[in-house]
Amino acid sequence: MSFAPPRRLPWLLGLSALILLADRFTKTWVAAHIRLGSAIPVIPSVLRITHVANHGTSFSFFADSATPHLVQWTLIGLLSLAAFGILVVMVRLGCRVTCTSVALALILGGTLGNLHDHIAYGSVVDFIEVHIFSYHWPDFNIADIANVSSLCLLLLGAMTRTEIVQPQFPEAAQ
């Protein structure tokens, strides 16, 4: 009799849902409390909470396109395909919690957060503005943080080939 490893997929999907909920909550709060184009200083000259409508993709690429509807539908299509592909890979990796599976869960949550905005509003709410010395980082949101964090995890996993959690299973009885 052999033991099947326990599925970790529900936990990974829970992480994706947590990212999506945090993203939705923060964007909704910003939209309700900060006028579009305005900002609240948190750390003067370093960090502000803003309200920016990003009609493009990361770093506002394609935001000023001559064909905004084409960009919008292309982004929706690509984000939908990405979310579906990530979900398929997560199902296949769902028995283990690794750097890769956690990264995929973060990417799925972030992708769904920004996909929701593109479908519902035609733009993504970005609200975190960072200045480091004279450099101004493009405004971003929780979904973007999840996506960048996932890339760091993927890099870490690739460099170390270590797992976050190494599940131990009893040996199959002979």
126 a catalytic residue: yes
- DSSP string of the chain? --PPPPP-HHHHHHHHHHHHHHHHHHHHHHHHHS-TT-EEEEETTTEEEEEEEE-SSGGGTTTT-S-HHHHHHHHHHHHHHHHHHHHHHHHHHTT---HHHHHHHHHHHHHHHHHHHHHHHSSEEEEEEEEETTEEEEEE-HHHHHHHHHHHHHHHHHHH---S-----PPPP-
Among 23, 117, 139, 144, the one annotated catalytic = 144
Among 23, 117, 126, 139, the one annotated catalytic = 126
144 a catalytic residue: yes
Residues acting as catalytic residues:
126, 144
